[in-house]
């Protein structure tokens, strides 16, 4: 595994990290989180009981609880809603395409 996890990140088990995951400073992963390969979670974001699909970027100061995030889409399985995000600073593809994610800081 080639993961970057700063010492000031908090990870509560069970959490599963794929290969090449990079967490920013002061990130929090709560139990039941799964991050796919090549995921970047920027500083101070909280991921809880969520699935972050491979090759997805999550911006700083965001909170995803009980969501599925894939590039520019945030899926809420509880309400059967999908939000396509328009701001690449919030979520999207890491260092590539202009297709982007997230509309709000708390979904």
Pairwise CA distance, residues 100 & 42, whole Å: 15
Q: Is the pLDDT of residue 100 over 70?
A: no
| pLDDT tens-digit map of 24-48 | 999 999 989 999 999 999 999 999 9
Q: Return the pLDDT at 52.
A: 97
> For residue 33, what are the β-bridge partners?
15
Instruction: Walk across the sheet containing 28-29 and list its strands.
Output: 10-11, 28-29, 46-48, 63-65
Q: Return the pLDDT at 49.
A: 97
> For residue 100, what are the β-bridge partners?
92
Q: Return the pLDDT at 92.
A: 61
Backbone angles phi, psi at 75, to 5 degrees: -110, 130
- What tokens appear for 23 in the block? 């967490």
Q: Return the pLDDT at 91.
A: 65
Q: Is 94 within 8 Å of 103 (Cβ atoms)?
A: no
């Amino acid at each position: 595994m080639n993961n970057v996890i700063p010492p000031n990140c908090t990870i509560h088990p069970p959490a599963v990290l794929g290969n090449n995951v990079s967490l920013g400073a002061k990130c929090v992963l709560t139990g039941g989180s799964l991050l796919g390969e090549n995921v970047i979670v920027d500083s101070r974001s909280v991921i809880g009981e969520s699935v972050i699909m491979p090759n997805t970027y999550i911006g700083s100061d965001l909170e995803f609880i009980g969501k599925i995030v894939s590039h520019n889409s945030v899926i809420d399985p509880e309400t059967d809603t999908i939000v396509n995000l328009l701001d690449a600073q919030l979520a999207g593809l890491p260092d590539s395409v202009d297709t982007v994610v997230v509309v709000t800081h708390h979904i």
